[in-house]
Amino acid sequence: MKESLMDILCCPVDKHDLELTVETKDDEEIIEGELTCTECGEAYPIEDGIPNLLPPDMRDEAAA
């Protein structure tokens, strides 16, 4: 994902701003990292360049 996407993304649950942590970057593309809600603290993973912003209950369901 591109960093410019941060301008429009928010926490799906409470709609507050997210904080970006980059783990791996390829040129301008963030490949691995994390988006953390500045309000509720929920962390959303960025995997293979795609942020997973499903609400926590749906994310857990998928992993199960």
Give the footprint of another protein on this chain (CB under 8 A): 1-2, 5, 8-13, 15, 44, 49-55, 57-58, 61-62
What's the CA angle centered on 19, arms 43 and 32, to 5 degrees? 65
| SS3 (DSSP) at 30 | strand
Q: Decide whether 23 or 54 has the Cβ nearer to another protein.
A: 54
Q: Decide whether 33 or 51 has the Cβ nearer to another protein.
A: 51
Question: What minimum distance in Å lies between the beta carbon of 31 and another protein?
Answer: 12
Rounded distance between C-alpha atoms, residue 34 and residue 45, angstroms: 5
